Amino acid sequence: MAEKNKLYYGDNLGVLGNYIASDSVDLIYLDPPFNSRQNYNVLFAEKDGTRSASQITAFKDTWEWNEEAARSYEKVVENGGRVADAMCAFRTLLGGSDMLAYLAMMAPRLVELRRVLKETGSIYLHCDPTASHYLKLLMDGVFGAQMFHSEIIWKRNSAHSDAKRFGSVHDTLLFYSKGLEPFWCTQYQAYEPEYVEQYYRYKDDDGRRFMSGDLGAAGLQGGGYEYEWKGITRLWRVPISTMERLDRGKRVFYTRNGIPRVKRYLDESRGMPAQDVWTDIEALKSWMKERLGYPTQKPEALLERIVRASSNEGDVVLDPFCGCGTTVQVAQKLHRRWVGIDITHLAIGLIKNRLVTTFGEDIKKTYDVVGEPTDLEGARQLAEENKFQFQAWALGLVEARVADSDRRGADRGIEEKSSSTITPDKLNKLCFPSKEVRVSRIQSFISLAYFPLSAPRSAPSSRLLIPPGP
Ligand SMILES: C[S@@+](CC[C@H](N)C(=O)[O-])C[C@H]1O[C@@H](n2cnc3c(N)ncnc32)[C@H](O)[C@@H]1O
């Protein structure tokens, strides 16, 4: 039986080191926090529709140069090699700064990611202009400059007003490979309207657009076929039988001088091989169905292009900063195997929910979740460590999630699919199916959360919701 897909809760550095074998992954997409100095919060909605002050910090995008960062820096430098050289150069340039702290966080992770990639594997690092220039140098250090393939500019928005500078509307994806011959499958994108106007300028009577292609073979290597066609004798690039077939099928177009040319229809074209500037994939907007309300969620179309270009069916796709699981979702849809890692229970809960919503209940049998509490003690520990993480985890158990306040409006409580409140009994069944575990223990388990699920204390009117049931 094929190995199950894996969803890991935890810090990706530890998860990679402890669980992911060397040379085992075909494609990595990573979308780490960019050091944009923001905390990405998922807000609770108030009853009146306003945004509540209470929120879960989904993840932090702020790094500080502190002892921990310095330790991480020293460790990378001690290991020597090109990565250490790059980090030392950054230290000279940036001093003990927040940017250096960010790069010191990224460096060991990129080294681990290179280790787990197969020789034919590829990696796409998604970043933005805040750090893309440093990250490219770091990637050169880790993978080697000769393993660089593309710097993809993804135009997210059509316009952005930024005071006193050009509007910032793009992200950057750095595409590298581990070996010199990574797997590749050319992807196509629709032609730009100007290109269509210029080259597909002919139309059939029914409006079908086409461009005309040469049928002459003059100058072609390998010669051609010499015969007379409609009064013109020359070297043609197709034999006469093909010319007759094309003509019968009304696929030959005659110029004003009577020269035959072949019609190439726009609707039969695969489009243009995808270039490194992507303007045809829209960022998610609040009204889009795909949107889950997770900050920084990426569109599936973006991942589809990457997954199709750099992996085959059955290959393993890894996302070590998987957020609400766009990569996981796309890998599943395109019949790849997958590994997702995230450090928040909110993200893990959302992914589980997203997978069931799209692929049905049976999907649960095809993957394992690693790193979540599996017993009361683990749950207690999580609640003590972090009430928000605990809450996100507990909600995930009942396929509930934090409200996307932009889209859903306010007045939804923590509800189960049946619309009833989560009771200790239900949590008991969901968390600890064994009969010996008593309901009273579950009551104490729930009271561990500083935010009791049925009546949030510190944010009385805050709301959480689950997606509509099937
Ligand atoms: C920019 S978001 C990724 C969004 C994702 N591409 C999507 O479409 O939903 C970055 C994610 O990295 C996670 N993260 C940050 N540091 C991490 C770490 N050390 N290990 C694992 N995940 C981490 C955050 O929790 C967050 O979900």
Closest-CA residue, ligand 1 atom 26, reads: 323
325-367 pLDDT per residue, tens: 999 999 999 999 999 999 988 889 889 989 999 999 999 999 9
Low-confidence ranges of the chain (pLDDT < 50): 42-55, 402-424, 428, 430, 432-470
397 lines ligand 1 (CB under 6 A): no
26-79 pLDDT per residue, tens: 999 999 987 555 555 544 433 344 444 444 555 666 788 999 999 999 999 999
Instruction: Report the distance separating Cα 367 and Cα 339, nearest Å.
Output: 9
**Residue 341 Cα to ligand 1 middle (Å):** 8
Closest-CA residue, ligand 1 atom 22, reads: 342
**Residue 255 Cα to ligand 1 middle (Å):** 58
Task: Out of 59, 130, 401, give the residue to mutate to test ligand 1, the one with the largest number of ligand atoms within 8 Å of its CB.
Answer: 59
354 lines ligand 1 (CB under 6 A): no
Distances (CA, A) of 341 to 30, 68, 142, 346, 412: 10, 22, 21, 12, 29
What's the confidence (pLDDT) of residue 159? 83
Please tell me the class of the 5-42+57-189+273-370 domain: alpha beta
124 lines ligand 1 (CB under 6 A): no
112 lines ligand 1 (CB under 6 A): no
329 lines ligand 1 (CB under 6 A): no
What global pTM score does this model have? 0.80
Numbered ranges of CATH 3.40.50.150 in the chain: 5-42+57-189+273-370
**Neighbouring C-beta atoms of residue 118, cutoff 10 Å:** 19
Task: Out of 321, 332, 388, give the residue to mutate to test ligand 1, the one with the largest number of ligand atoms within 8 Å of its CB.
Answer: 321
59 lines ligand 1 (CB under 6 A): yes
